[in-house]
Amino acid sequence: MIGVFGGTFDPVHNGHLRVVQALVRTLPFDELRMLPCGEPAHRAPPQASAEDRVAMLRLAIAGMSSIVIDEREVQRNGPSYMVDTLTSMREELGDTPLVLIIGWDAFVGLPTWHRWPQILELAHLLVVQRPGTTTPPCREVEALLQQCQVDEVSALKTAPAGCILLHPVDALEVSSTNVRESIIAKEDVGDLLPVAVLAYIKEHNLYQ
Ligand code: ATP
């Protein structure tokens, strides 16, 4: 079973890392991939370059053996549509269960994604609860939950795609926006990021 945690990672922070570490510890993933987005389709472009965002991710996951970086979106031109990414992964993986990991805030926005009904044909969804995000699901998302929600992690291993699991994670209340704003305000962000990522940000004058 392969997990994919997509994000802008502008920059990666301890909230992201808390999620992936908790998931590899408690769920039977053979591999967990962090997938930096190249050109986000539904939001402003990232402030840091793809090269810098990947470099920070590399520093953040150094020593975490079951976590890897999948660079296909930053290497592709054009908007990073998740449906294209999952299609290319599915071609490589055959029938291996593929699990797209997203925060609740991203999940409630699913109907705005390009060709979104195809996402569950290609992967399962594992939705992690994020503190402070209580947006209720819209009608389409509610219907999807009624149709696809499962209660057991084991269900994800019985099919390549098609299930939704809501998974509580003891998440940290931090966002990349917080980090960027705090850096501009010259506040201490030492608790929000790994030391090596903060050193990289300072060295390359990012988010000033
Ligand atoms: P920004 O503030 O720039 O929107 P972000 O902190 O939300 O950034 P992203 O890289 O956009 O980070 O998020 C990638 C994924 O990580 C999304 O699915 C998001 O819901 C999830 N995520 C981000 N921060 C947390 C957190 N503190 N706890 C749990 N999930 C998180």
Cβ–ligand 1 contact at 175 (below 6 Å) = yes
Q: How far apart are CA 116 and CA 131, in angstroms?
A: 25
**pLDDT at residue 129, rounded to an integer:** 77
**pLDDT at residue 130, rounded to an integer:** 66
Ligand 1 centroid to Cα of residue 177, in Å, is 9
Residue 61, Cα to own-chain centre: how many angstroms? 14
Q: What is the pLDDT of residues 150-165, one digit of tens each?
A: 999 999 999 999 999 9
Q: How far apart are CA 121 and CA 161, in angstroms?
A: 6
Q: How far apart are CA 32 and CA 24, in angstroms?
A: 7
Spell out the domain ranges in the chain. 2-203
CATH for the 2-203 domain, from 3.90.550.10, 3.30.413.10, 3.90.190.20, 3.40.50.620: 3.40.50.620
Spatial CB neighbours of 86, under 8 Å, sequence gap ≥ 6:
4, 98, 100, 119, 122, 123
**pLDDT at residue 133, rounded to an integer:** 66
Q: What is the pLDDT of residues 106-124, one digit of tens each?
A: 899 999 999 999 999 999 9
Q: How far apart are CA 159 and CA 124, in angstroms?
A: 9
Q: What is the pLDDT of residues 37-76, one digit of tens each?
A: 999 887 889 999 999 999 999 999 998 988 999 999 999 9
pTM value? 0.94
Q: Residue 116 in contact with residue 83, Cβ under 8 Å?
A: yes
Ligand 1 centroid to Cα of residue 203, in Å, is 24
Q: How far apart are CA 77 and CA 84, in angstroms?
A: 12
Spatial CB neighbours of 150, under 8 Å, sequence gap ≥ 6:
156, 163, 164, 165
Question: Which mutation among 16, 125, 182 tests ligand 1's pocket best, with the greatest number of atoms within 8 A of CB?
Answer: 16
